[in-house]
Amino acid sequence: MKAYAQEAENLRLLFIAGIASIDDVVAWADRTISTLPEYDDDLTEISLGVNVQIGEMITRLSRASEGTDTLEAVRNLAGRMHRVLLTDRSRASDFIRELRQIWADWLDCNNFADAPESEWPQDLAFIGKLYTEMGPCSPSKCTIDLFMAGTAPFDTATSASMKPYAQEAENLRLLFVAGIASADDVVAWADRTISTLPEYDDDLVDISLGATVPRDEMNSRLCRVSWGADQFVAIRNLAGRMHRTLLSDRSRAGHFARLLDLFWVDSNFKVPEDLAFMARIGDAYALAEQGTWGSLNEVIDELIVATAPFDEGDGEEG
- Specify the pLDDT at position 160: 47
In the chain (318 residues long), the average pLDDT of successive 10-residue segments reads 92 93 93 92 93 93 92 91 81 87 78 64 78 55 76 70 86 95 96 91 89 88 83 93 95 94 80 90 90 90 95 56
Helix (H, G, I), strand (E, B) or coil at 292: coil
- Specify the pLDDT at position 4: 93
* Domain locations along the chain: 5-64, 71-154, 166-225, 231-310
**Helix/strand/coil percentages in the chain, nearest 5:** 65, 0, 35
| Strands in the chain per DSSP E | none
- Specify the pLDDT at position 47: 94
**Can you say how many angstroms the Cα of residue 54 is from the centroid of all Cα atoms in its chain?**
27
- Specify the pLDDT at position 115: 61
Residue 277 phi/psi, 5° resolution?
A: -60, -20
Alpha-carbon distance of 10 to 17, in angstroms, equals: 11
Helix (H, G, I), strand (E, B) or coil at 265: helix
The total of other beta-carbon atoms located within 10 Å of residue 151's CB is 26
- Specify the pLDDT at position 188: 96
Please count the residues of the chain: 318
- Specify the pLDDT at position 315: 40
The total of other beta-carbon atoms located within 10 Å of residue 21's CB is 11
- Taking the whole predicted model, whether its pTM rises above 0.85 is answered as no
Rg of the Cα atoms in the chain: 24
The DSSP line for 110-171 is TT-TTS-GGGS-GGGTHHHHHHHHHTTSPPPHHHHHHHHHHHGGG-TTS--SPPTTHHHHHH
Q: Which of 60, 83, 78, 53 is nearest to 8 (CA)?
A: 60
